[in-house]
Structure 1
Amino acid sequence: MMACNKTLLGVPLNASAHVPCPNHTALPTPLRILLAIIMLFMIAVGFLGNAIVCLIVYQKPAMRSAINLLLATLASSDIMLSLFCMPFTAVTVITVEWNFGAHFCRVSAMLYWFFVLEGVSILLIISVDRFLIIVQRQDKLNPHRAKIMIALSWAFSFCISFPSVIGWTFVEFPSRAPQCVLGYTEFPADRAYAVMLIVAIFFIPFSIMLYSYLCILNTVRRNTVRIHNHVESVCLNQVSKLGLVGLQKPHQMNVDMSFKTRAFTTILILFVGFSFCWLPHTVFSLMSVFSRRFYYSPSFYATSTCVLWLSYLKSVFNPVIYCWRIKKFREACLEFLPKTFKIFPKVPGRTKRRIRPSTIYVCSEHQSAV
């Protein structure tokens, strides 16, 4: 185990950082083994689940819409995260020691930020697209434009994450963390890059997505009230024409708003999952860079292990949401399963007629008549 006062991948610490730190408090062995087993399960689910998402979009031309191309890109970034980052973290959780060399330490840190930033960029694009469609009534994103946005997001993510591999910031061996993490530093340039990285990954996307979803929620609420009032006014006009004898509660006056809210609700759940998984990691990274007391505390290793494990949970979270919320993805997943796994027969569920967003339900004269 490396001492805390050693150099950071060959780059010496500033004088104020040459402070011996107490031995870190590693997690108990049974808990470390349990976390490693859970991480292996997460790797399998994250890889297989996201691979099915990509395969569905690739094999089914009808699924190659702009939003599905974005979801497939999000799944691709999660696949890369599951294959190139999570296994090394799982091994380090068990051994409590980094065994993959100094150079790969920087490479793994760069890949971690790269794939995470790409996934966040795709979520941001989807959120803005939903905002334009529902609030601004502008459907500007087609498959061609989606491909351009995807290419730009990959390039942007690479440009932001690449400096960490060439030594533009302090990335320490995992002597106090199961993965190469941002270390404490007092150099202004290193702190500036760390802040830029964290702001690009969390604060800017979170602020834009939060604003977009609040506007969408407000628009959906106002539209629901407007349609409900329109339905009631139409029904009352029909009742006045028929007289009191024709007064009867219309059959099925419910306004089906699922055509507007279901896709938005799915994206909102992805946003909540992103916030839940990444807010602790953001706070942890900022405190690691700016707080010497926190960085050299004995509990740093246990805290970093839990925070990193939670950040990886997002790659498993997304495909589960797709299969739960998106019917076409769920049906396509069942098609990829071998027949031996299809134990339960397919039960026909209640289906709803698809309607256009411009459709308004009103009471007909037949419904209002006696």
Structure 2
Amino acid sequence: TLRCDTSLSSFFFLRVSLPLQVFFSLVMVVILLVALAGNVVVCLMVYQRSAMRSAINILLASLAFTDMMLAILNMPFALVTVMTTSWIFGDVFCRISAMLFWFFVIEGVAILLIISIDRFLIIVQKQDKLSPQRAKLLIMVTWGLSFVFSFPLAVGFPPLQTPPRAPQCVFGYSTDPWYRTYMLILMLIFFFIPFLVMLYTFMGILNTIRHNTIRIYSHPDSMCLSQASKLGLLSAQRPFQMNIDMSFKTRAFTTILILFSVFTMCWAPFTAYCLVTAFSAGFYHKDSFFQTSTWFLWLCYLKSAFNPLIYYWRIKKFRDACLDLLPKYFTFLPQLSGNTKRRIQPSAVYVCGEHRSVV
């Protein structure tokens, strides 16, 4: 494995213009603050509110926790390295930092994979088997597996390139077959296998939703009559038509699909960057490698800041809980009771025919 002495930091500093260095630093500060504050709020909401501790919310809180720990234990050191263009924390902490980085990254991907499979089982297979207890058990298992796959980095296997060639410890160019094998295994576990599995689940879910939509709109009378007869609310001989809002079936899935899209956009370039770095000496030894590494690192950290914003935008329970939680910690905000913000949403009421009989 090739290593560069830290005395070369001044050389790479000359390759990073001051405006670009300031830009990288400011962007990483914003990402760090948003990722830290947003994910802390998500974890607090699930921890403090028993009503929020459903299986899916526990998984989302675990995902927020991994993003929060990534922001606390990795982003500040990468920020300092971007600002100084030299790694000042030593070789030992370099290995530990790399282990923590991949540990939280693999755990976050595993949680997103579990959520995607759970949506597939519910929508396609009509099986809702994930209870809060099982969710907690799966979280413990994934934490253990993530540690097993990332721990070799902490003991120097394989040895990673120490900055300043990159803003943090990354995979560098090497001809060692064990080095490349470990890196390929890590890429498969972290990106390629979860991406293919999640893509398959989402395609199956989309296909099921499309068939259900066609069936409902092709036979609205029989569908509404069947549902009303089961509920005992309407007579089986009474004709009516049903107006169904399909958004309640697809909104939760759409949220997970957005999380998957953000994961793909943020981590696919970083995965390609790691592969090219390990197998291409020319790419690794380019003078612009530090800037390129910073761009890709900035992009992958962006996912940790996007996730809590997506929760707030897409999940009403998180949004309401966040609005209730903020006045407790920010006294300058107006104190509003929870009851004043609750109202009936017409989109959540499904009616049949002209008499608007509630189903």
Pair in the same fold by TM > 0.5: yes
The number of residues matched between the two structures is 335
- Residues 190-209 of structure 1 mapped to structure 2, 5 A cutoff: 190-209=179-198
- Residues 256-275 of structure 1 mapped to structure 2, 5 A cutoff: 256-275=245-264
- Residues 154-193 of structure 1 mapped to structure 2, 5 A cutoff: 154-193=143-182
Q: Measure the CA separation in 1 of the matches of 2:116 and 2:304.
A: 18
Is structure 2 residue 349 aligned with structure 1 residue 341?
A: no
Contact 2:3 2:161 in 1 (8 A): no
Aligned to 1:73: 62
Q: 1:40 to 1:353 in 2, by over 3 A?
A: same
Q: Measure the CA separation in 1 of the matches of 2:135 and 2:344.
A: 33
Contact 1:131 1:213 in 2 (8 A): yes
Is structure 2 residue 326 aligned with structure 1 residue 328?
A: no
Contact 1:323 1:330 in 2 (8 A): yes
Aligned to 2:236: none
Give the stretch that moved more between structures: 341-350 or 202-211: 341-350
* Counterpart amino acid of residue 148 in structure 1: L
Task: Give the drift of 1:34.
Answer: 2.1
Q: 1:8 to 1:232 in 2, by over 3 A?
A: farther
Task: Give the drift of 1:259.
Answer: 2.1
* Counterpart amino acid of residue 98 in structure 1: W
Q: 1:226 to 1:362 in 2, by over 3 A?
A: farther
Residues 131-176 of structure 1 show CA distances to partners (whole Å, capped at 9, x for unaligned) of 0000000001001100110000100110011111112213111121
Contact 1:8 1:170 in 2 (8 A): no
Q: Measure the CA separation in 1 of the matches of 2:251 and 2:241.
A: 20
Task: Give the drift of 1:102.
Answer: 0.8
Aligned to 2:345: 351
Identity of aligned residues (%): 52
Task: Give the drift of 1:260.
Answer: 1.1
Aligned to 2:71: 82
- Residues 9-88 of structure 1 mapped to structure 2, 5 A cutoff: 24=12, 26-88=15-77
- Residues 102-181 of structure 1 mapped to structure 2, 5 A cutoff: 102-181=91-170
Q: Over the residues paired in the alignment, what is the CA RMSD in angstroms?
A: 2.8
Q: Give the SS at the match of 1:181.
A: coil
Task: Give the drift of 1:195.
Answer: 0.3
Q: 1:252 to 1:309 in 2, by over 3 A?
A: farther
Q: 1:155 to 1:32 in 2, by over 3 A?
A: same
* Counterpart amino acid of residue 104 in structure 2: F
Aligned to 1:13: none
Aligned to 2:269: 280
Task: Give the drift of 1:363.
Answer: 3.7
Is structure 2 residue 303 aligned with structure 1 residue 309?
A: no
Contact 1:234 1:363 in 2 (8 A): no
Contact 1:170 1:185 in 2 (8 A): no
* Counterpart amino acid of residue 340 in structure 1: F
Alignment gaps of 5+ in structure 2: 225-238
Task: Give the drift of 1:8.
Answer: 8.7
TM-score for both structures, normalised by structure 2: 0.86
Residues 58-102 of structure 1 show CA distances to partners (whole Å, capped at 9, x for unaligned) of 111111000000001001101100000000001111111101111
Q: Measure the CA separation in 2 of the matches of 1:251 and 1:94.
A: 68
Q: Give the SS at the match of 2:198.
A: helix
Is structure 2 residue 313 aligned with structure 1 residue 318?
A: no
Task: Give the drift of 1:268.
Answer: 0.5
Q: Give the SS at the match of 2:219.
A: helix
Contact 1:8 1:171 in 2 (8 A): no
Aligned to 1:243: none
Task: Give the drift of 1:26.
Answer: 3.5
Q: Measure the CA separation in 1 of the matches of 2:150 and 2:313.
A: 32
Contact 2:24 2:294 in 1 (8 A): no
Question: Bigger radius of gyration, 1 or 2?
Answer: 1
Equivalent in 72, 82, 87 of residue 93 of structure 1: 82
Contact 2:221 2:241 in 1 (8 A): no
Contact 1:172 1:183 in 2 (8 A): yes
Equivalent in 300, 317, 325 of residue 289 of structure 2: 300
* Counterpart amino acid of residue 129 in structure 2: K
* Counterpart amino acid of residue 198 in structure 1: M
Q: 1:224 to 1:98 in 2, by over 3 A?
A: same
